[in-house]
Amino acid sequence: MNKNKLLTSVYDFASTVLSSVLIICVIFTLFFKTSTVSGQSMENTLHDGDTLIISAISKNIQYGDVVVISQPNAYSKVLIKRVIAVGGQTVKFDYKNGTVAVDGEVLNEPYIKEHMKTPLLMKSEYVVPEGKLFVMGDNRNHSADSRDMGVGMIDENYIVGMVLYKFGDKELFNSSFKELQNG
């Protein structure tokens, strides 16, 4: 009888572990993904080597969200950038003051590493077509983003997901940004 009890306990334990692993795999396959930051374009918000959890179902993307992008680009890289404007909006740069305005309103950007320097080949105004996003890195002077012809504006269909959590932080990533921006 003790042998049957032991076998039943081992079976129950193995069944519980296997079920848990299966549930976690399904959740991370359908709803969440992980990504690793490569490069310095999102400093000081994200750093090279940071591991991120991203939402695989991000339909309501808006200004300030940090997204993972799979759109083919000249650098053959998956990109992680911040959404600056969505379809129908106009983005304008004032390189003298280092500011970005969307639809005439200068953005409050406490997350950027440093103000932009005047670029050599980039335009100072962009109109974002419907279905596209204008994205930029937080490290503006070291970021290949929508200002760069090698990246351009991002088709919404190429958004892999929105960054939710950065390992090492104690709270949800985009929620923290929204509070910082509003507070």
Catalytically annotated residue among 55, 58, 81, 146: 81
81 has catalytic annotation: yes
Contact (CB, 8 A) for 76 and 150: no
Active-site hit among 9, 19, 38, 41: 41
Cis peptide before 44 (omega within 30 of 0): yes
Contacts 24+ apart (CB under 8 A), 104-113: 107/63, 108/181, 110/180, 110/181, 111/44, 111/45, 111/82, 111/138, 111/177, 111/180, 112/138, 112/139, 112/140, 113/43, 113/44, 113/138, 113/139, 113/140, 113/141
Active site residues per annotation? 41, 81
